[in-house]
Amino acid sequence: MNEQRTEFVRKCGELLHTAKPNLISCELKLGKDITDAHAKVGHPTLVPDAEYVVVTCENGCTYNLCVEANSLCGIATEIFSKMLYK
């Protein structure tokens, strides 16, 4: 994984937590690194080599957002638009 993308997602997580304190963090992970315990029930099978932003909530719930082939702007848009009402 690209170091720049990883750091960008981490910083988006900090901003997201400031805006919505119940959302704890964002991490960039490959599908194969996301354990079944962190995959939502009924979530489609994760693509092993695809990149996902894993957003962790205060209550332990996680959201896996596929960001494969997205630009940094696209990643930010995906994170903030999907987490707007969480």
Task: Give the β-pairing of 62-66 and 23-30.
Answer: unpaired
**Could you report the per-residue pLDDT of 6-65, keeping only the tens digit for each?**
999 999 999 999 999 999 999 999 988 886 655 555 556 788 889 999 999 999 888 999
Question: What's the number of domains the chain is made of?
Answer: 1
Of 33, 63, 37, residue with least CA distance to 47: 33
Placement of tokens 């750091």 in the chain: 7
Res 41: pLDDT: 54
- And the tokens for 17? 């937590």
Domain that holds residue 30: 3-82
Q: CB under 8 Å to 29, separation ≥6 — which residues? A: 51, 52, 53, 54
